Amino acid sequence: MPVPRAVVAAVVATSALPATTGSPQAGGGYCALPDHSQLSPPNLIATASSLGWIHPNPPPAGREPTDLERLDFAGFPNVSVLDVIGTDGRPAQKVITTFTTNVDKVVTLTSEAALSTDGGVTFGPSEATPLRESPVELLDGRYFATEYYPKRTGPHTARLGVLTSAVADDGEDWLRSVATLRTPDELRSGGAAHGTPVQLADGTILITVYARYQGSDGFQAEVYASTDGGRTFERRGVIARPDEAGYGYTEAALAQVMDGTLVAVIRRDGGTYATLSQARSADGGRTWTSPAGLRFAGMDCVVRGVAPRLLLMPDGKLVLSAGRPDNWLAVSRDGLGHEWLEPRVTYHNRDGVWDAHGSSGYTGIAAVGPHRLIQVFDNCKIAGVRPDHSLDETACPAHGRFEQGGWYAIKRGLYDLAPPAPGRLDLAALLRKGDLRISTTMRWTSRDRPLTRPEAALDGSTGYWSSAVAAGRSGEYVLHLDRQYRFTMAGLSLRPGHRAGARVYVSRDGRSWGEPVLTIDDRTDYALRYEPISARGRHVKIVVERSDDCDREIGPSCAMLNEIELYAAT
């Protein structure tokens, strides 16, 4: 049962705690991250705006909350960016941030959601939502998310709430169903379905769960797979098992990276601090490399953290977000996760007493453009409950020492990733201004796929259906620019998750095309891939080869241009 705020108010008077004493430094070989990147090349991550409040809304006027305001719990945030049709009829994005409003205890969870339609710059007031984890868009057009706690129903089964919403509803009308989870080992109670789902190109939905089994007290991180749209899930593989030294593995972030393999970053518990480990699967999550401690390039230290989040950006960079202490980001420039560069603290709310006080370290990240991301985080870890039912605010005592005050609040930061080269042309802006015209044979669309249209290839999203598509033939997509450019680089994402090919031509007059300046053969994309080109002209033509085994609604063959970027000499 949830602990209602009226009950919380009744116990708050008995729950005040003195500040916990202790060293503000972890020591023992743990990483101490800088507030700004100190690794080369500089400015891989740059702040795109000042920090913003999501909740409370409007931002509070006082530095410290009153006793009553401290009962407005808000923590453990997540964020998703959903591709929608804007009010002007063009492809747009809706940013949805969810956060927990109950105490930190195994109870029936309560959550609220706040929406942004300006790329995460501003958010409206929050409202109740059934969402706890971040939703994703499936290939069938539904938005999909899981609830947090599986419930054991037998030695080898559990049930898990699943939430879906139709595209037409823009993710606001969530239908709840119950999925069955099956595992070959004998389950104990406990665990959670933590993390953002991943869908493979064949339609398989993957979720990460941590669970306990008979004969062991430790949790293990696992992958479950559904091939029936989320009605049933079978355990596909074990990412990390508890070891003999007493360490267990819980919260796991999962991502399909640029070469199609799966990367998982997992929370490892059992020592003085929670730390992060990493594993990789080359067979869709069935088998995994042995988990190894996550490391930052050029730093010989142990990475502390909880609740990791992974994000493959549209530009192909892989971003890792985590926290405790503080909140931070790191980037894998090649999108593979073998090397993590430029770890940077993005937000802290320190009290000078203990370095893990303040923010819970639980974050969410999502792409709000090809090179821009939003990170959400909380200001203070929400209170737990002691055995005597009083509030446990050890992590966020009301002592008035926090840098950002003692509010239970949700905030956001926006960050730009350095593009692969200077001179990026904002093709979407040129199209809006009338300085770019598109002529194309890639005009397939349907009532169920309103985002699939020619201009979707310029919208900065690598969502599967946010593409230009030709049905039954190869596709030709021509950009007619306002003036001559000396092009230096092209970024293309073809049909995500499927082998495809294309040729790129540049022309001065739009009639004589000559030989292709770029040829792509039998390549599988999961994000934009960039190739140098050298050509001068006003017109750029992309010929996308026809591929077979296309989506049933399109037909047996098709050509898809998911996204394009062009760079020119400045």
367-426, pLDDT tens digit by residue?
999 999 999 999 999 999 999 989 999 999 999 999 999 999 999 999 999 999 999 999
pLDDT digits (tens, 9 = 90+) for 295-311: 999 999 999 999 999 99
Between residues 3 and 532, which one has the greater pLDDT? Answer: 532
Per residue in 121-156, pLDDT tens? 999 999 999 998 889 999 998 999 999 999 999 999
Q: Which of 269, 160, 283 is nearest to 218 (CA)?
A: 269
Q: What is the arithmetic mean of pLDDT over 13-39?
A: 54
What is the β-pairing status of strands 205-211 and 232-240?
A: unpaired
Given the structure tokens 């609604």, which residue do they identify? 553
Rounded distance between C-alpha atoms, residue 196 and residue 135, angstroms: 7
Has residue 18 got a pLDDT over 60?
Answer: no
Domain extent listing, the chain: 5-24+39-417, 427-568
Task: List, for residues 55-102, the tens digit of each pLDDT value.
Answer: 999 999 999 999 999 999 999 999 999 998 888 888 889 999 999 999
Contact (Cβ atoms closer than 8 angstroms) between residue 323 and residue 305 = yes
Q: Flag whether pLDDT at 234 surpasses 50.
A: yes
Q: Is residue 23 very low, low, confident or very high in pLDDT (cuts 50, 70, 90)?
A: very low
Question: What whole-number distance in Å separates Cα of residue 181 and Cα of residue 157?
Answer: 5
Give residue 43's pLDDT.
63
| Least trusted range by pLDDT, from 164-178, 252-266, 468-482 | 164-178
Whether residue 11 is predicted with pLDDT greater than 70 in this model: the reply is: no
State pLDDT tens for residues 540-566: 999 999 999 999 999 999 999 999 999
158-217 pLDDT, tens digit each: 999 999 987 545 546 899 999 999 999 999 999 999 999 999 999 999 999 999 999 888
Counting beta carbons within 10 angstroms of the beta carbon of residue 242, is it exposed (0 to 12), middle (13 to 18) or buried (19 or more)?
A: buried
The correct CATH number of 427-568 out of 3.40.50.300, 1.20.1250.20, 1.10.10.2160, 2.60.120.260 is 2.60.120.260
- Is residue 319 scored above 70 in pLDDT? yes
16 has pLDDT over 90: no
Residue 30 pLDDT greater than 60, yes or no: yes
Compute the average pLDDT of residues 324-349: 95
Among 488, 370, 318, which Cα is nearest to 81's? 370
- What confidence category does residue 38 fall into, taking pLDDT thresholds of 50, 70 and 90? low
pLDDT at 7: 35
Half-sphere exposure (Cβ direction) of 342: Cα atoms closer than 13 Å: 19
Q: CA 369, CA 462: separation in Å to the nearest integer? A: 10
Q: What is the pLDDT of residue 40?
A: 54
Query: What would the mean pLDDT of 448-473 be, rounded to a whole number?
Result: 96
Residue 523 has pLDDT above 70, yes or no: yes
Which spans in 257-337 are helix H? none
Report the chain's mean pLDDT, rounded to a whole number: 91
CATH architecture of the region 5-24+39-417: 6 Propeller (2.120)
| pLDDT for residue 10 | 33
**For residues 426 and 465, is the Cβ–Cβ distance under 8 A?**
no
Reply yes or no on whether the pLDDT at 12 is more than 70. no
Q: Residue 41: its pLDDT value, please?
A: 57
Distance of CA 504 to the CA centre of its chain: 31
pLDDT of residue 22: 32
